[in-house]
Structures are given as structure tokens and as C-alpha cells.
Amino acid sequence: MSDTTRPTDQGPTDQGPTDQIKTVTNPAGMVQSAASQEYTSIEHLILRVVMKVLFAPIIVFALYVQFHGDYGPGGGFQAGVIFAVAFILHALIFGLEATKKALPQGWLSVLMVVGVLLYAGTGVANMLLGGHLLDYDTIDPQSTHHAGQHYGILIVEFGVGVAVASTMLMIFYQFASREPEISDEEW
Amino acid sequence: MENDTVTLAEAATLAIDLSLLTLLFLVAYQMLKSRHLFAVVMLSGIYSLLSALFFVSLDAVDVAFTEAAVGAGISTVLMLAGMLLTARREKPLMPGRAPVAILVVFLVGAALMYATLDMPAFGDATAPANAYVGLQYIERTPNEIAVPNIVTAVLASYRGFDTLGETMVIFTAGVAVMLLLGAGSIKGGRQVKDVSDDGEAQQ
Amino acid sequence: MDILQFIADRYNYWVVIVLMMLGLYTVISRGNLVKKIIGLNIFQTSVFIYYISIGKIRGGTAPIYVPGDMEARTDHGDDHGSGHGAAHGEDVHAIHGEPANAMADAVKANASSGHETVASTASLHAEPTHHAGASNSLETDIAFNAEGSAAADPHGASEGGVVLGEVIYSNPLPHVLILTAIVVGVATTAVGLALAVRIREAYGTIEEDELEAADNIAEFGTEDPREAAAGAAA
Amino acid sequence: MWDLIRDILSWALILIGSAALVIGAIGLVRFPDFYTRMHAAGVTDTAGAELIVFGLMLQAPSWIVVAKLAFISFFLFLTSPVATHAVAHAAWVVGVRPMLGPDLKREGDD
């Protein structure tokens, strides 16, 4: 075992315990470390069942927070984070590979751009409609109840939500798909 | 207490605020003391939830919501992942570091404490921060935006450009993490071996 | 008693400063990079609490219009009684129509308010009621439609115990700033952690002094560069 | 009349819930080993939070608030025991074993 965090040991493990870290594709295994292999089939049974019950409500709640942000606490930032949390929970319990099948990493990098472009594009569209940047009243100039502002805020918040959710998930994917070099005895 | 009427509700709020702040202090102190990084990360989740509770007490429901979702949901998981990839334990404090740090910290703290003597009172409606721009938002939102949640109106409309910038910062941070950890592969990089030669050289 | 009042008015800021000192101490004194990032988070949260504390208004509520209040505050919401519309609309209109004037007023008021704050702090022990008095005069001028006018207001119909159009809301601006700052904070924390992870992979440690020693060994072949310099000179 | 009953009932629920949480906190400090502490925290946490939410439900001004509180209570009922289970299970997998018999009287484990 060449790899420790002892102060005397300067070098990283290059060709160290490759046999030791072979099964850490599952972040749940990472977090609940030292799980013996024979457990894994039934180990997370309760967590899996509850996760299946909870996953859809969390997504629905995220959507509620996203689109109810005009009327109550909430908005794109919170909704994006909650949406990301649902998938992070999924990854923690079912493993990162399963989550990546459900929501591929390539989509995320596209969605990150789409979110920001949705926001910026709304602003540019307002300019093209003859107003200032992000002057939502140009969307519906005739409205007496500021319908343009409502539409603008909804679109922009949606852009924020998409950008935040995909960025947070992307960051999580990047961290979780790395293999820890530290042996479990360090705990 | 002659002139100002302290109601029961205000006294209760004061008690709740004080207990929350005490808990915040204790948790922060324990985070400073503990060398077990797993415990520190868990405590940071508790710290976030406590501060979210305190935000509710200060009427900032949107902020509390965000802090609870981010602090308990994302931040803790990311820190956990970061900790798993780096180190589980912190080394003991180097002797000689603490006195300098204490000196700097107490100087800064004393200066800030001195500055609070001139601060407007807590909850003062006429404080410069509250009387002008903030009040304008409250007065104008019904006429100009017509959205019940003033925070959303200010966030997405009045200060929409600001929020665009914030979104860009988040996007940039995501790209930075991708570049640092993803190793250029859209399929998700595995462990990178490009540094092992240097590691050998250092030994 | 005024000492107590003084403390009650500021205890929030002091606790926030103590939290900030804890965070700063963690950042400076601890050598572990992850611990430094966590210290930075403590610091950051204390700044958040400080901002939100400033925005709190005594007796206020969360900055979301209570049902019916938004309509009561609009100019064109004539269905809520023209009397109120006139009384209230005038006020908004003055701000709305002549921003330059409003700005000038604001600056004037700002100057006087700053003056009064200093005065009230200076004379706090001598005259405990001064601050409240100063606050009240300002309040009736600019901060709120005077409480007294609520009685004369034909719209003074209260719904569920609140007088519409007169509800006090906490300042929404700090909330907006901090809300975005929290999410940006976690994104930047992730960047910091990613850097720490890469450093760990390159050096095998994230302790500051060991990193420095490793750099020195790589550059000079010894942990102490001064030794190497002395050796080279000799 | 209904108001009075409602107030008494909701206050009773809230106070019992708070008492449960306080008792749980005391148990968390006083109990000797990990599993008994987990037991104290887990059981009273679920019960106390549920009771407080029920008490709040009786005070709710409108049905929509009742519905929201019902959702909260449902999710608390689902997640709180599961969290306790996950923590206890993780401890078991890592190798923490419950104290048994005369050991239970001592402070500190293993």
C-alpha cells in the first residue's frame, strides 16, 4: 500500500492498488465505504424502494418551484438545485452509471449552454423588438397587466433553472466519476 | 422599555434569533476544531441549515429556500466528493501559525466591531439601505412588473442583467470544473495518469 | 436600559462578525486546502447573514405581496376605490414621473439621515429617545405612507387583520443579491475543490507546508531553499 | 367553541412534539453507544416532527396550507426513518457493533 496521506509520503500512487479500486464506479459505494461485495445486491433495498417513491415528487416539486416563483418563494436557482438534487440522489443510490444512462453527460453540456442562451436570447430578442436588453414589456406591449413581464420572467427563470441544474449535475458527474486514490483504511 | 413596546412576539423572535446564532457559533467553532474532515463536512451541512432557519427569521424566505437546497443538497455532496478525492484527515496545526492568524483576525474583528457602532439599528426602516432603492422596488413592482413575489421581480426583471452575469459565472464555473476534472472527454474522464512521472521525480 | 437597547439593536452584527472571524481564522491558520475552503464557506455565510440582517425591517414580513395588497398598491387598479388610488397614486407618480426630483430628494434625505445617525449614536447615552424620534420623522416623510393616513384612507378596509396598501415588507434587494450569491458560491466552491483534487493527484497531499516542501525539493533538491542557496554560494 | 377545541388540540400536539424532540436530544447525549443514540434520535425525531406538523395543520388558515403540510408530513414520515436506517446500516457495514449485556452500562465503546 504505497498510497497514504502520511506526511512522509510525497508521491501519488501511479500503479498502486489497481485491484483495490476496481469497483468504485458506484458513488454509493464510495460514500458508504468498505461495503463488502456480497452485500451490494440487497444492501440498499430500502433506500432503492424509497428512492423510487421519492424521485418523481422531487422532480414535480422542482417544477412547482420553477413555475410558481412569481407567486411564492422560488425561482430558477432553487428549482435548478432541487432538480439536480433529485438526480444526485439517484446517482448515490443506483450508481453513477445508471444515472448517466438516464441523463447522459453529453446532454448536460448542451443544456448548460441552452440555459444561458435562453436567458441571453430573451434579452437580445427584446432588443430586436425595439426595447432595451431584457426589457420584457416589448414582448407584449399592448398588455395593461404587464403580461410581457410575466412571460419574460418565466422564460428567463426557466433559462436560469436549466443552466443551474445542468451545471450542478455536471459538476457532480465530474467529481463522482473520479476514482479516489485514498485507501479506505484511512478512515 | 419605556417608549418602545416590546411585544411577546418580538421577545420570542429575539429568543429564537439568539439561540440560532448561538448554535451557528458553536457549529462553526466545532468545524474549526475538528480535524476529521468528514465530520467537518457534515457540520457544514448543519451550519447551512441553521443559517437557512435564521434567514426565515429575517423574512428572507427565498434566500432560506436557496440556502437549504444548496447547503444541504449540493454543497454537502460536493464537499463529500472533494474530501473523498483528497484527504480524510487534516494534519495537526503547525506551531507558529496560530499567533499570526489570531492577531490578524482580532485586528479585523475589532475594526469591524468599531464600525458597527455607527450602523443603523437592526430592523430600522429608515436605514439608508432600506429607505431608498429597496423601498422603490416595493412601491413600483405592482405598477411596473405586477408579480407578487418582489424578489422574483427584482431578480429577473429589474436586475435581470445582474442575474444574467450570475448565470454566466455559474456556467463558467461548470466549464472550469469540466476542464479540471473531465480531462477533455465528454464521456467522462477516468483517473488521469499524466502526473505520475512528476510524482516519481519528487521522491 | 439604553445600553440594553443598543445591544439589542446590534447583537446581530456582532455575532456575524464573530462568525466571520472564525471563518477567517480557519482560512489563515489551517494548512489543509479542503479545510480552507470550508473556512471560506463559513466566512461567506456570515456575509450572507450580514446582508440579510441589514434588509430586515422591524414588523415587516417577507417581500411577497400578501393577497390583495399588490392590487391595492397599483395606480390603475381603480376597482379598489378611487380615493385610495388618488392618495397613493400621487405619491408613486411623483417618483415615477420625475426621477430627477425624486433622486434629489433622496440625496437630500440621505445626507440628513446620515447626519442624524451620527448624531443619534453620539448622543445615545444622553438621550435615548432621540433615535426613535429621528426615525419617526423620516419615516412619515419618505419611508411609508404615514400610519395616520390609514385612518383617512377610504381604502382602509382590512383583510385578515392587515391593512392593504400599508403592509410593511422587508427590503427585497439584499435577498436578491444573496440568493444569487449562494448559488454562485457553491459553483465557485466546486472549482476550488476541483483544484484541490488535482493538487492531491499531482502532489499526493493537500497540506500547504508539504506542498511547499515538495516544490522546493523539485526545484532545489532540498526542503529548505536557503540551505541550497548557501550551499551554492559556498 | 370549535376554535377553542382546535387551539387546545393543536397546542397539545405541538407541545408533545416539542417534548419528544427534547427527550430525543437528551437521549442523544446520555445514551452509551451509537445504536442506542441512533434509536433515541430516530424515533423521537420522526414522532416529534410529525406531531408538530399535525399541530400546525390544525392552525392552518386555508385548505391549501393543510394540503402542503400533509405533503410535508408524508415525506417526513418516509424520509426520516429511512435516513436513520441508512446511518445505522452504514455503521453496521463499517463494523460498529452494538453494546450488549453488561457492556451497556459503561461509557465509551469497544
Our CA-based measurement puts residue C135 at a distance from the nearest CA of chain B, in whole angstroms, of 6
How many angstroms separate the CA atoms of D107 and D101, rounded? 13
pLDDT at C221: 81
Neighboring chain B residues of A97 at a CB cutoff of 8 Å? none
Nearest to A184 by CA among A8, A7, A23: A23
Helix (H) or strand (E) holding C120: helix C99-122
Rg (CA), chain A: 22
Which is higher by pLDDT, A144 or C85? A144
Question: What's the pLDDT at A7?
Answer: 39
Backbone angles phi, psi at D57, to 5 degrees: -60, -40
Nearest to C34 by CA among B88, B74, D27, D93: B88
The yes-or-no verdict on residue C231 having pLDDT over 90 is: no
Query: Cβ separation of C121 and B118 shorter than 8 Å?
Result: yes
Per DSSP, what are the bridge partners of residue C64? B149
Please compute the mean of the pLDDT values over residues D103-108 and round it to a whole number: 56
Contact at CB, A11 and C204, closer than 8 angstroms: yes
Three cell numbers written together for B70? 444548496
Contact in structure between A3 and A9 (CB atoms under 8 Å): yes
- What's the pLDDT at A25? 40
So what's the ipTM on this one? 0.83
- Tell whether the model's pLDDT for residue A33 goes beyond 80: no
Residue pLDDT, tens place only, C213-227: 898 888 888 877 777
Q: Average pLDDT of C65-76?
A: 81
Q: What is the pLDDT of residue B96?
A: 75
Question: A3 and C186 in contact by Cβ < 8 A?
Answer: no
B91-104 pLDDT, tens digit per residue, is: 887 777 788 899 99
In angstroms, the CA D27 to CA D46 distance is 14
| Beta-carbon separation of A39 and D93 below 8 A | yes
**In angstroms, rounded to a whole number, what is the distance separating the alpha carbons of residues B6 and B1?**
7
**C42/B47 touch (CB, cutoff 8 Å), yes or no:** yes
Q: Is C57 helix (H, G, I), strand (E, B) or coil?
A: coil
The four Cα atoms C173, C177, C183, C186 give a dihedral, to 10 degrees, of: -140
Instruction: Please check the confidence at residue A67 and state whether its pLDDT lies above 50.
Output: yes
- The residues, ordered by sequence, that sit 6+ positions from B199 with a Cβ below 8 Å of its Cβ are A10, A11, A12, A14, C202, C203, C204
pTM, two decimals, is: 0.79
**What residues in chain B have per-residue pLDDT under 70?**
1-6, 183-203
d(CA A107, CA B92): 44
CA C56 – CA A107 distance, rounded (Å): 42
pLDDT tens digits for C154-211? Answer: 444 444 556 777 788 999 999 999 999 999 999 999 999 999 988 888 888 888 888 9
CA distance D56 to D60: 6
In B86-149, alpha helices (H): 97-116, 128-131, 133-144
| Residues of C whose CB is below 8 A from B122 | 8-13, 53, 56, 58
Instruction: Check whether C143 has a pLDDT greater than 50.
Output: no
Name C158's bridge partners. C163
Banded pLDDT at C87 (limits 50, 70, 90):
very low
Contact assessment for residue A172 and residue B77, using Cβ atoms and an 8 Å cutoff: yes
The DSSP letter of residue B183 is T
Query: Which of B84, B144, B195 to probe the A interface (max A CBs under 10 A)?
Result: B84
Nearest chain B residue to C27, by CA: B101
pLDDT of res. A21: 38
Instruction: Tell me, yes or no, if A1 comes closer than 8 A to chain C by beta carbon.
Output: no
Instruction: Give the minimum alpha-carbon distance from D67 to chain A in angstroms, rounded to a whole number.
Output: 14
What does the pLDDT read at residue A43?
64
Taking the C-alpha atoms of residue A9 and residue A12, their distance in angstroms, rounded to an integer, is 8
Mutate to test the interface with B, among A168, A173, A184 (most CBs of B within 10 A): A168
pLDDT at A170: 93
Chains with ≥3 CB–CB distances under 8 Å to A: B, C, D
Phi–psi pair at C77, nearest 5 degrees: -80, 70
Q: Do C205 and A5 touch (CB under 8 A)?
A: yes
CB half-sphere exposure, B27, CA atoms < 13 A? 24
What is the pLDDT at residue A147?
A: 87
- Residue whose entry in the numeric block shows the C-alpha cell 464557506: C41
Mean pLDDT of all residues in D11-40: 92
Is the predicted pLDDT of residue C90 greater than 60, yes or no? no
Q: Looking at residues A160-173, what average pLDDT do you find?
A: 94
Please indicate whether, in this complex, the C-beta atoms of C194 and B177 are within 8 angstroms of each other.
Answer: yes
Residue C123, C-alpha cell as written in the block: 448622543
pLDDT tens figures, C24-47: 999 999 889 999 999 999 999 999
Return residues 73-112 of B near C (CB < 8 Å): 74-75, 78-79, 81-83, 85-87, 90-91, 93-94, 97-98, 100-102, 104-106, 108-109, 112
Q: Which residues of chain A does D87 touch, with a Cβ-Cβ cutoff of 8 Å?
A: none
Q: Least CB-CB distance to B85: which of C110, C169, C200? A: C200
Q: Is C64 helix (H, G, I), strand (E, B) or coil?
A: strand
Nearest to A167 among C64, C187, C214 (CB): C187
Give pLDDT, residue D102.
Answer: 67
DSSP states of C68-109:
THHHHH-SS-GGG-HHHHHHHHHHHHHHHH-HHHHHHHHHHH
- C162-163 and C158-159: which strand pairing? antiparallel
What pLDDT is recorded for position A181? 63
Percent share of chain C, pLDDT over 70: 60
The nearest CA of chain C is from the CA of B159 a distance in Å of 9
| DSSP helix/strand/coil, B58 | coil
CB A96, CB A84: distance < 8 Å: no
C70 vs B70, B87, B148: nearest CB: B148
CB–CB contact A54 D75 (8 Å): yes
Binary contact (B108, C24; C-beta < 8 A): yes
Q: Which of C32, C37, C38 to mutate to test the interface with B (most CBs of B within 10 A)?
A: C38
Q: Which residues of D38-66 are buried (b: 16+ CB within 10 A; e: fewer)?
A: bbbbbbbbbbbbbbbbbbbbbbeeeeeee
pLDDT score of B5: 60
- Residues in chain A within 8 Å Cβ distance of D89: 32, 43
Q: What is the pLDDT of residues C94-132, one digit of tens each?
A: 333 344 444 444 444 444 444 444 434 333 333 333 344
Average pLDDT, rounded, for chain C: 70
Q: Kindly identify which residue of chain A lies nearest to residue C190, measuring between CA atoms.
A: A171
Cell numbers 432541487 correspond to A82
Q: Any chain B CB within 8 A of the CB of A116?
A: yes
pLDDT value of position B87? 84
- Asked if residue A156 has pLDDT above 50, the reply is yes
C203·A5 Cβ contact <8 A: no
Query: Which of A10, A136, A167 is the best substitution to test chain B (most B C-beta atoms within 10 A)?
Result: A167
The three-point CA angle B43-B48-B53 to 5° equals: 125
Find the radius of gyration of the CA atoms of chain C.
Answer: 28
Q: What confidence score (pLDDT) does residue C224 get?
A: 76
Is pLDDT above 70 for A92? yes
- Is pLDDT above 80 for A15? no
Task: Please classify residue A119 by burial: count the beta carbons closer than 10 Å to its beta carbon, then call 0-12 exposed, 13-18 middle and 19+ buried.
Answer: buried
Burial track A137-168 (b if 16+ CB lie within 10 A, e otherwise): bbbbeeeeebbbbbebbbbbbbbbbbbbbbbb
Residue of D nearest to A185 (CA): D94
Per DSSP, the three-state class of C162 is strand
Tell which wins on pLDDT, B103 or C147.
Answer: B103
Q: Does A11 touch chain C (CB under 8 A)?
A: yes
Say if B60 is an interface residue toward chain A (CB within 8 Å): no
d(CA A79, CA A69): 9
Per-residue DSSP letter, C58 = T
- Cβ atoms of D17 and D51 within 8 Å: the answer is yes
User: B7 to chain A nearest CA, in Å?
Assistant: 28
Query: Other CB atoms closer than 10 Å to residue D105's CB: what's the count?
Result: 8
